[in-house]
Amino acid sequence: MAYYKSYGAAGEVTGSCHFLHIGKIRILIDCGMFQGAESEMNFEPFGFEPSDIDYLIVTHAHLDHIGRIPLLVKKGFDQKIISTRATYSIAQLMLRNSAGILETKPKPLYTLNDVDPALDLFGTFLECGQTMTLDENIKISFKNAGHILGSVSVKLEFFDEGIEKSIVFSGDIGQSERIITSPIEFWDKANYVFVESTYGLSIHEKLEISIDSFKEQILQTIGHGGTVVIPSFALERTQEILFLLKQMSEENLLTNIPVYLDSPLAINVTNTFMDYPELFSDDVKKIIQNGENPFDFKELIKTYSKAESMQINTKHGPKIIIAGSGMCEGGRVNYHLVRYLEDKANLALFVGYQVESTLGRKISTGNRDVSILGTPVNINAKVGYVSGFSAHADQKELLEWIDVIEDIYCVYLIHGDVPQLETLKGKIKKELQEKVHIVKIGEQIHL
């Protein structure tokens, strides 16, 4: 007997946690943190006994896919965690940073002391194109998901009651066009396909248009002597932004304009990226082969300490500040927003998805009066948004990813808000003629 049960990212975007029971083996795919309006769900019981899980497979190192692993271990999980090496390297940084933030909360989900025992369970590595056999001859294999560095989709193959079956979990699928990440890989066959639906009703702006818009908005602001504040995710998005700013630097468009990378986590993640040159796009690989760092340029200033961060405000004249968090829910970016949002010469430039109820969502959708760090702020600065940098596939790309797969019995939609899920379901039924089901949290599905 084999069945699946959802414990997160079903009817919502965050908190990915998917349970598989195959024979006597219990497998968890991801164990992520709920974010935004769903964050209180992190404190609810898992719904299963962590000590009963035989394997945890991690698709990538975003917190909504790994953020509750320390809690899982604290509650009794002590078996192997399977991932790519890049995911493990990045997860170390992300989980330690997460714990540091959580420790400042009145009710921390876990602490730094809980992180090392979780990291100790990593070390069973599987790279794209490889296959690993688990107990009871369950075979797992990875393909590049094209989402962030080290991200994968997962295939499990097994026999159930004498019948050969296969399941694919998409993880998070990247766009077909990305700035620094190597291209997405496709599966040819699977019976049960669990696919993310983050942008199930959306079509992204073309990447080239977004890049042009990004550069144009920056040049307009600094040309008028303003400051550009970019709330950016430390993982992947910051590295993409640095790559584009390097291009501008080499075109002499940033001469005498300081660019501050004001995020210790982003600095550390960027350094870690350089340990995996084989995972980049061909354009980035060529830069590395020429002996250059694709994420460094002469105007870049890395501000690691708080003292260095505070010194940014003493630099008068045009400048660019890249700081976290990407949704403005904490981190140094909030201090910069308080300083610069009230001046009409400045620009707050959003470059990533903003979860409902976050400060970033409020600012990016037109609210002119917000409270930041307990300070009322009247927004006179320009607010820009670039949509085409998304690390998630849009509706068209999701349909293309599914359409390649043969022998599908059913497509199961996860990791999306209800409107996205419903729209994508209709498209799959109409255009692909596949059976499709929207997964509900806690729902058990026989495979």
Cα–Cα separations (whole angstroms), residue 349 to 76, 199, 228, 251, 345: 42, 21, 7, 21, 13
DSSP letter at 175 equals P
Res 187: pLDDT: 98
pLDDT in tens, 410-438: 999 999 999 999 999 999 999 999 999 99
* Residue 138 pLDDT level (bands cut at 50, 70, 90): very high
pLDDT in tens, 19-47: 999 999 999 999 999 987 788 999 999 99
pLDDT in tens, 318-351: 999 999 999 998 899 999 999 999 999 999 999 9
Residue range 146-165: average pLDDT? 96
pLDDT in tens, 183-194: 999 999 999 999
- With a CB cutoff of 8 Å and minimum separation 6, the contacts of 314 are none
* Other CB atoms within 10 Å distance of the CB of residue 286: 12
Res 161: pLDDT: 87
What is the pTM (predicted TM-score) of this model? 0.95
- The class that CATH gives domain 2-202+391-446 is alpha beta
Residue range 258-287: average pLDDT? 97
CA atoms within 13 A on the CB side of 113: 3
CA distance 399 to 214: 28
Matching CATH number, 207-385, of 3.40.50.261, 3.40.50.10890, 3.40.640.10, 3.90.1170.20: 3.40.50.10890
Contact (CB, 8 A) for 90 and 149: yes
Contact (CB, 8 A) for 128 and 142: yes
- At position 411, the amino acid (one-letter code) is V
SS3 328: coil
* Residue 389 pLDDT level (bands cut at 50, 70, 90): very high
Res 38: pLDDT: 84
Res 254: pLDDT: 98
> Over 90: is that where the pLDDT of 384 sits?
yes
CA distance 314 to 334: 17
For the stretch 268-283, what's the b/e string if a residue is b when 16 or more beta carbons lie within 10 angstroms of its beta carbon? bbbebbeeeeebbbee
pLDDT in tens, 205-250: 999 999 999 999 999 999 999 999 999 999 999 999 999 999 999 9
For the chain, the domains span 2-202+391-446, 207-385
* Residue 257 pLDDT level (bands cut at 50, 70, 90): very high
Contact (CB, 8 A) for 347 and 229: yes
DSSP string computed for 145-168: -SSSTT-EEEEEEEEETTEEEEEE
